[in-house]
Amino acid sequence: MRATLVRMGWFVAIWAISVAALGLLSLLIGSWLS
């Protein structure tokens, strides 16, 4: 049970980081194009 929680935690952390990176990237490109 604990191993699944750890794996889920890692998955959520990686997902959150990738979403934040995508948001930052789109913001950068948006300010760059304007």
Would you list the DSSP string of 3-34?
HHHHHHHHHHHHHHHHHHHHHHHHHHHHHHH-
* 23: pLDDT strictly greater than 90: yes
pLDDT tens-digit series, residues 4-18: 999 999 999 999 999
Residue 13 tokens read as: 């952390």
- Cα(32)–Cα(2) distance, rounded to whole angstroms? 45
pLDDT band at 28 (very low <50, low <70, confident <90, very high): very high
